[in-house]
Amino acid sequence: MITLALSKGRIFDETLPLLRAAGIEVLDDPDQSRKLILATNQSDLRVLVVRATDVPTYVQYGGADLGITGKDTLLEHGSLGLYQPLDLRIAQCRISVAVRDGFDYADAVQQGSRLKVATKYVGISREFFAAKGVHVDLIKLYGSMELAPLTGLADAIVDLVSTGNTLKANHLVEVERIMDISARLVVNQAALKLNQAPIRRMIDAFATAVAR
Ligand code: ATP
Ligand code: PRP
């Protein structure tokens, strides 16, 4: 039995067409069912429904053989024990710095100044600002980052941007793009060695679906 870890929502929704292209159907809808282990039309493949931020953990410790996770989540988690064979080119967005409309970011990031940055992405932010030589105080949040500059909690946020609608609706502007993000297939390295043929088949099926 091969186990694939997915998170509900956009990763699950955008993975379904890739699975379908390989002739794989998931037999339950995680939005309709409380089941967390979903059967597929392949007797040797099941899907685990886990929190997006937990996908790398499940795969790293072998709770799942494979998983699909955003590059953002993977960078924050670290990739110990994870083989990353494929960029699936789904869940595409970017990770950016944003500030309140009217805030003088260029002035604030001058060498020597300290910037208060609220983010779920503490690791990515620390590395990005360190490389620029900007001193930052990082404030860890788990969601609704957009509120931080509006309430005085922080000067800036580091968050995902896709259409830009969330920033716009909250009177924030994107001032720097840190990197492009998309979802990656991750594989437990030990599982790949032990169960090579079926896992390789899954990797090849995803590769073919992405190339279509
Ligand atoms: P958790 O529930 O664990 O906190 P989450 O709420 O961030 O995770 P999702 O919103 O489903 O989970 O995001 C999963 C992944 O999808 C993110 O890690 C990112 O790679 C990508 N993503 C997030 N927001 C967008 C977006 N607006 N457009 C495209 N891709 C996105
Ligand atoms: C993500 C991200 C932004 C938003 C950006 O949130 O945290 O808030 O998408 O997308 P946009 O540029 O198209 O507006 P998501 O929709 O995943 O909600 P969440 O905060 O519940 O994760």
User: Residue ranges per domain, the chain?
Assistant: 2-91+182-211, 93-180
Q: Is 65 left (phi over 0), alpha (psi -120 to 50) or beta?
A: alpha
Q: Which atom of ligand 1 is nearest to the CA of 52?
A: 3
pLDDT in tens, 189-211: 999 999 999 999 999 999 999 99
Q: Are 139 and 117 in contact (CB under 8 A)?
A: yes
pLDDT at residue 113, rounded to an integer: 77
CA distance 188 to 169: 40
Residue 110 has pLDDT above 90, yes or no: no
- Helices within 133-188 (DSSP H only): 147-151, 165-169
- Give the pLDDT confidence of 147-159 residue by residue, as tens digits: 999 999 999 999 9
Two structure tokens written together for 103 = 């805030």
Q: For residue 143, count other CB atoms closer than 10 A to its CB.
A: 8
Topology of domain 2-91+182-211 in CATH is D-Maltodextrin-Binding Protein; domain 2 (3.40.190)
What is the spatial distance between Cα 67 and Cα 81, in angstroms, rounded to a whole number? Answer: 13
The answer to whether the 2-91+182-211 and 93-180 domains have the same CATH topology is yes
Rounded mean pLDDT, 26-36: 95
2 Cα to the center of ligand 1, angstroms? 25
Alpha-carbon span 32 to 30, nearest angstrom: 5
Residues with CB under 6 A from ligand 1: 7, 9-11, 51-53, 70, 72-73, 91-93, 160, 162, 181, 183
pLDDT at 212: 87
Pocket test for ligand 2, best of 160, 167, 181 (most atoms within 8 A of CB): 160
Closest ligand 1 atom, residue 53 Cα: 3
Angstrom distance (rounded) from CA 70 to CA 158: 15
Write the burial class of residue 202 (CB in 10 Å: 0-12 exposed, 13-18 middle, 19+ buried). buried
CATH number for the 93-180 domain, one of 2.60.40.420, 3.90.550.10, 3.40.50.1980, 3.40.190.10?
3.40.190.10
Task: Return the pLDDT at 129.
Answer: 96
Q: Are 144 and 124 in contact (CB under 8 A)?
A: no
pTM (2 d.p.) = 0.96
Residue minimizing CA distance to atom 1 of ligand 1: 52
Tell how far the Cα of 90 is from the centroid of ligand 1, in angstroms.
Answer: 11
Query: Which residue, by CA, sits nearest to atom 31 of ligand 1?
Result: 91
In angstroms and rounded to an integer, the radius of gyration of the C-alpha atoms of the chain is 19
CA distance 208 to 22: 8
Q: Between vectors from CA 197 to CA 189 and to CA 28, what angle results, nearest 5°?
A: 85
35-80 pLDDT per residue, tens: 999 999 999 999 999 999 999 999 999 999 999 999 999 999 999 9
pLDDT bin (cut points 50, 70, 90) of residue 111 is low
Which stretches of 10-125 are assigned E, i.e. beta strand?
Answer: 37-39, 45-49, 66-70, 82-87, 93-100, 114-119
Ligand 1 center from residue 113 Cα (angstroms): 31
- Rounded Cα gap, residues 210 and 22, in angstroms: 10
The protein residue with its alpha carbon nearest to ligand 2, atom 6, reads 160
- The pick from 95, 119, 158, 162 for probing ligand 2's pocket by mutation, whose C-beta has the most ligand atoms within 8 angstroms, reads 162
